Structure 1
Amino acid sequence: MTRLHVRSRYGPEVVAGVMVVALLAWAAAEWLSSRPYFDGPQARPPVAALAPVFAAVLVSVTLAGADEELERSAARRWWPIRLAHVLIATAVCAAALALTGLWEPTRCGAAELARNTVASVGLVTVATALAGAARAWAPVIAYTGVVYLAAPKPVIASTAWWTWPVQPASAPLAWWAAAAWFAAGLVLYARNGARVAADREA
């Protein structure tokens, strides 16, 4: 049953996609850190902010089945499956991206990649529960894009609750924000699953 669930949600394809994102993140960090206009940690934010978004968008593909109503009609409790689904998907994505940053944390930012993956998956799961999996990619892309452009430069620690995508690992508020988004998404998705009506309209 577990294998069928994974296959029906495009699990193998998404895992392969996450590996591609991780490799591209590593290549981008390598290239940016070699540019003369970036000095060490200054090369970190673009990769740390954007790579987790792409991974989270891939996760959103797995958050709704081909027939969500049919799945819900099955005589089984779905919330433990949804809970495990999100936790495992987040762990795989965070580990894959963080590993690309371990080669030189001061440049790529393994901790930032892991934190932003947790937050981005949280945003995606919130959007899935409220608007449906077909639209779940939009809020995380829009939010991260706005923050990347609008956040104070240099970053200010007191704004970390909303500028978490571009904050360093040393900003506690950014971690709390990531945890809050992830917890909200986990609860909403585990309880409600993907919003069926929105997916049908897409």
Structure 2
Amino acid sequence: MTALTLYVRSRRGPAALGTALAGAVTAWLLAAVSDQKSQVTGVVLPLTVLVLVAVLTTTLGGPDDALDRTAARPWGWLRMAHLAAACQVSWCL
């Protein structure tokens, strides 16, 4: 496995991506169903952003801090890229 694959798996990336997608789809479907005019209201967008940010922030911390400090690979540059990507995604939304 590559370093990037190991990092994404250690941060629970696939589970977070699935949860974010499910949360966003659920929010938009509930809004579309509950609205009489078949238009999504302005409340759904902030709700979707909050769900995505909540899921995204769970990936920033690892399961064990002691394990991260004693890792064989230096994860510092990956963490910085991860944080930059998270900020970019939340900024674009």
> Is the pair's TM-score, using the shorter chain for normalization, greater than 0.5?
yes
Question: Paired residue for 2:82, among 78, 82, 85?
Answer: 85
Question: Do the aligned residues in 2 keep the contact of 1:25 with 1:51 (CA within 8 Å)?
Answer: yes
RMSD: 2.9
Instruction: State the secondary structure of the residue aligned to 2:36.
Output: coil
> CA shift at 1:19, angstroms?
1.0
1:8 paired to 2:25:
no
- Cα 1:76–1:26 shift into 2, 3 Å: same
Q: Deviations over 1:64-123 (max 9, x none)?
A: 112223323446361x212211233455xx4xxxxxxxxxxxxxxxxxxxxxx3399xxx
Structure 2: gaps of 5 or more residues? none
List gaps (5 residues or longer) in structure 1: 95-116, 121-202
Paired residue total: 89
Change (3 A) 1:66 1:48: same
Cα distance in 2 between the residues matched to 1:61 and 1:48: 20
Q: Per residue, is there more helix in 1 or in 2?
A: 1
Structure 1 residue 35 and structure 2 residue 42: aligned? no
In the alignment, structure 1 residue 118 sits paired with structure 2 residue 91: yes
Q: Secondary structure at the match of 2:6?
A: helix
Alignment partner, residue 76 of structure 1: 74
| In structure 2, C-alpha distance between the alignment counterparts of 1:3 and 1:35, rounded to whole Å | 45
Q: Could you list the runs of 4 or more consecutive aligned residues of structure 1 that deviate by over 2 angstroms after TM superposition?
A: 28-32, 72-77, 86-91, 117-120
Higher RCO (Cα < 8 Å, 6 or more apart): 2
Q: Is the contact made by 2:20 and 2:55 (CA closer than 8 Å) also made in structure 1? A: yes
Q: CA deviation at 1:25?
A: 3.1
Whole-angstrom CA distance in 1 between matches of 2:21 and 2:75: 31
Supply the distance in 2 between the matched residues of 1:11 and 1:27 (Cα, whole angstroms): 24
| 3-state SS of paired residue (2:47) | helix
Hey, what's the Cα distance between the residues in 2 that align with 1:51 and 1:66?
26
Structure 2 partner of 1:51: 48
| TM-score under structure 1 length normalisation | 0.37
TM-score, normalized by length of structure 2? 0.70
Identify which of 21, 24, 27 aligns with 2:26.
24
Residue pair 1:28, 1:47 contacting (<8 A) in 2 also: no
Deviation (angstroms), 1:59 = 1.2
Q: In 1, distance between residues paired with 2:29 and 2:84?
A: 27
